[in-house]
Amino acid sequence: MNNGPLLFLGIFFTIAFSWSGIVLTNLVQQTEAGATQPLFDKDTEKVVPAPMTGDAKQGQQVYAELGCVYCHSQQVRNSLSRDGGTSVDVERNYGRRPNVARDYIQDGRIFLGTMRTGPDLRNVGQRLPSVDWHMQHLYNPQITSKDSIMPPFPFLFEEREIVGEPSPKALRLTGDWAPPPGYEVVPTARAEALVAYLLSLRTDYDLPEAPKSVE
Ligand code: HEC
């Protein structure tokens, strides 16, 4: 008795069936999920959410390595306040509207976070758009935010002797924070990438499925 061909067919159809189940249904779902693709906004002629720049992508890696997610969330929640029915997080100035799933479509790894030892950072690029501010804050949070309990990240900077002209990137530190005369504190590539990432965190566009932004 030779059951070889029957056995082959059995195995073939089992594999073909599971393959189509896993691969094909996924493909169909992806094409149906037009709503989760980035959107071309006709008014601003931009793709929203905008893809991350290379610098910001590297900065996201630094954000992961340094564990910023342990103290910061990245989600403006839609929990409503009792009286006005607006989002509590919007009232806190964490963003102009609650976030929805599509806001994260360009992120790759998503740092929603649960802890809010510090403020939500999903829109920190809108709230605090100054590179200088972020550099000083990362070097030591107490420079910009008196009595801050956020840890300093001095290893993202280099204190070095000024050779020739001072660097235009040198931190403007005064008083007790200033380096010794003849020295300057300059950001490393990791600091620059991290700040590029922080500045890229902004929800300054509308989406059809999201609540409207407040002014
Ligand atoms: C131990 C908790 C903790 C960790 C870890 C931490 N932070 Fe903070 N962060 C805070 C607190 C508290 C504040 C509020 C006080 C202040 O401004 O420093 C804050 C404030 C901030 C702000 C200002 C936000 C605003 O709206 O005022 C930024 C930006 C920020 N953190 C970025 C970072 C980044 C980037 C990292 C990782 C490199 C990080 N934080 C790690 C606790 C933390």
What does the pLDDT profile of the chain (215 residues) look like in tens digits?
Answer: 688 899 999 999 999 999 888 888 777 765 555 556 899 988 888 899 999 999 999 999 999 999 999 999 999 998 887 777 778 999 999 999 999 999 999 999 999 999 999 999 999 999 999 999 999 999 999 999 999 999 999 999 999 999 999 999 999 999 999 999 999 999 999 999 999 999 999 999 999 999 988 87
Rounded to an integer, what distance in angstroms lies between the CA atom of residue 22 and that of residue 104?
A: 25
Rounded to an integer, what distance in angstroms lies between the CA atom of residue 199 and that of residue 131?
A: 8
pLDDT at residue 47, rounded to an integer: 93
Q: Is the CB of 183 under 6 A from ligand 1?
A: no
Q: How many angstroms separate the alpha carbon of residue 177 from the centre of ligand 1?
A: 19
Rounded to an integer, what distance in angstroms lies between the CA atom of residue 145 and that of residue 147?
A: 6
Taking Cα atoms as reference points, which of 94, 91, 79 lies closest to residue 126? 94
100 burial (CB, 10 Å; 0-12 / 13-18 / 19+) is middle
User: Do 73 and 124 form a contact (C-beta atoms < 8 A)?
Assistant: no
Q: Is the CB of 70 under 6 A from ligand 1?
A: yes
Rounded to an integer, what distance in angstroms lies between the CA atom of residue 171 and that of residue 187?
A: 8
Residue 48, token pair as written in the block? 């929203």
Q: How many angstroms separate the alpha carbon of residue 64 from the centre of ligand 1?
A: 14
Q: Is the CB of 142 under 6 A from ligand 1?
A: no
User: Do 97 and 213 form a contact (C-beta atoms < 8 A)?
Assistant: yes
Q: How many angstroms separate the alpha carbon of residue 118 from the centre of ligand 1?
A: 5
Q: Which residue's CA is the nearest one to ligand 1's atom 17?
A: 145
Rounded to an integer, what distance in angstroms lies between the CA atom of residue 205 and that of residue 124?
A: 15
User: Do 195 and 59 form a contact (C-beta atoms < 8 A)?
Assistant: yes
Q: Is the CB of 150 under 6 A from ligand 1?
A: yes
Best residue for ligand 1 mutational test, from 61, 70, 71 (most atoms within 8 Å of Cβ): 71
pLDDT at residue 41, rounded to an integer: 86
Q: Which residue's CA is the nearest one to ligand 1's atom 23?
A: 119
User: Do 39 and 48 form a contact (C-beta atoms < 8 A)?
Assistant: yes
pLDDT at residue 20, rounded to an integer: 87
Q: Can you give the length of the chain in residues?
A: 215
Q: Is the CB of 151 under 6 A from ligand 1?
A: yes
| Biggest distance spanned by C-alpha atoms of the chain | 94
pLDDT at residue 180, rounded to an integer: 96
Residue 197, token pair as written in the block? 């990432």
Rounded to an integer, what distance in angstroms lies between the CA atom of residue 201 and that of residue 123?
A: 5
pLDDT at residue 65, rounded to an integer: 98
Taking Cα atoms as reference points, which of 175, 178, 168, 113 lies closest to residue 139? 178
